[in-house]
Amino acid sequence: MGECRSKEASVTCNRRKKRCSDGLPCEYCTRIGKLLDCEYRTKVPSKTVRVTERYFINLKR
């Protein structure tokens, strides 16, 4: 059928809106000669916690 798509594109592929092969370096970065610049962003989970106003008031007591 079709090619399997990678979950996350490299920074260069994402910026230029190209299909990423998910390698290190990916095929696109290899083709344009940016072997050392091929990098992937890592997702950092959010540290923000939502609390209700009632919970916050109970903490003050």
The pLDDT tens digits along the chain (61 residues) read 445 555 788 999 999 999 998 888 999 999 999 888 899 988 877 788 888 888 888 887 7
Q: Please check whether residue 34 lies inside any domain of the structure.
A: yes
Can you give the pLDDT at residue 50? 84
Q: Per the structure, how many domains does the chain have? A: 1
Task: Specify if 47 maps to a domain.
Answer: no
Kindly report the CATH number assigned to the domain that includes residue 34. 4.10.240
In a domain, 6, yes or no: yes
Q: What is the pLDDT, as a whole number, of residue 1?
A: 44
Please name which of 42, 34, 44 lies closest in space to residue 12, comparing C-alpha atoms: 34
Task: Tell whether 49 is covered by a domain.
Answer: no
- pLDDT computed for residue 59 by the predictor: 85
Write out the residue range of the structural domain in which residue 30 sits. 1-41
In a domain, 19, yes or no: yes
Integer Cα distance of 8 and 22 in angstroms? 7
Q: Which long-range contacts (CB under 8 A, 24 or more apart) does 12-15 make?
A: 12/37, 12/38, 12/39
Peptide bond into 25 cis (omega under 30): yes
What pLDDT score does 29 carry? 92
What pLDDT does 4 receive?
Answer: 53
